[in-house]
Amino acid sequence: MELKAWTYEEFPEYTHEVEGAHVLRTTGDERGVAYVPDVVYAEADGVKLHLQLLVPFTRNEPERIYPCVVFVQGSAWFPQNVYAQLPQLSCLARRGYVTAIVEYRHSGIAPFPAQIMDARNAVRFLRAHAAEYHADPENIAAAGDSSGGHTAMFAGMLHDDAKSNLFPSVSADVKGIINYYGSCSVMQEDSNPIQVLHCQADSPEGMVMGHDLRDRPDLKRRLSVECNITEETAVPPTLILHGTKDRTVNCEGSVILYRQMKKCGKDVQLYFLKGADHGGAEFWTEEVLDIVDAFLKKCFA
């Protein structure tokens, strides 16, 4: 065989029969996922913020572009483990979505709404650099779990952030929101069932607001997603998923959010996962992925 820079099309296929060997047929449309780690998308307060990128690929269409899901990893607004959901999110990427896991400034660095501004700037970065990562800049959705679900909700419905825009003239709008068991409301005393420091200064919600919230209904309302949605609020279609035995974030919070969105005429779906706790394998079954996939396809249609 001649040694040269063969193209795939030119390279001769091995066709010899080998006794005892098996031949498996392929189409070239099988989809894999490439991992692009620690991409710096912004610097804020002297801290570099990163994305973990999962990019689909196939042999037949190496230059294909895919819709994009910007996923905010939850952490109770504390420092994130942005690698925690990589195995699960690769299942979503394999469905044909560039999936970007967002690092935000945690509550020890910056108070609310810094996390929302970071998520919106991550969307802008991906839109501005879409060609590098095979992402479709016209089809981007926001997603997140726990505090990341809270961040994704606000990132999708907040539009007045010009002062925090690191990419002038680049939109942070998204076409859909997927809220996995988001910590979206602190209005109820049992919002976080196993937390005994509800709304105190050293609670997660107190830390992110920089204050003891117990006597500050104004700050509670500012942090709670449902209190910021009216008929006039522009909210993209939203999918909410929550376990019925979530000990960390009471699923009643998702019910409150769902009812407020319905009351205000928003496009929202709520799915309960019976018996599921705060996250877990139940949220990444083929059945749930089918629901998420169908929701995204509708958003991007």
22, part of any domain: no
> Rounded to 5 degrees, what angle do the CA atoms 93, 94, 99 make?
5
Give helix 86-94 / helix 286-299 axis angle, nearest 10°: 60
CATH number at residue 227: 3.40.50.1820
Q: Tell me, what's the pLDDT at 33? A: 98
Token pair recorded at residue 294: 């169908």
Q: How large a percentage of the chain has pLDDT more than 90?
A: 93
Three-state secondary structure call for residue 100: strand
Q: Pick 59 or 194 by higher pLDDT.
A: 59
Distance CA 65, CA 99 (A): 12
**Per the domain annotation, does 178 fall within a domain?**
yes
Domain assignment present for residue 6? The answer is no
Helical (H) or strand (E) element with 60: none
Q: In terms of residue numbers, what domain contains 95?
A: 32-299
pLDDT of residue 252: 95
pTM: 0.95
Q: Are 208 and 222 in contact (CB under 8 A)?
A: no
Give the per-residue pLDDT at 196.
85
Q: What is the mean pLDDT of residues 82-108?
A: 97
> Which letter, b or e, does each residue of 98-114 get, where b requires 16 or more Cβ atoms within 10 Å of its Cβ?
bbbbbbbbbbeebebbb
For the chain, what is the domain count?
1
Selection from 190, 152, 181, 158 nearest residue 254 by Cα: 181
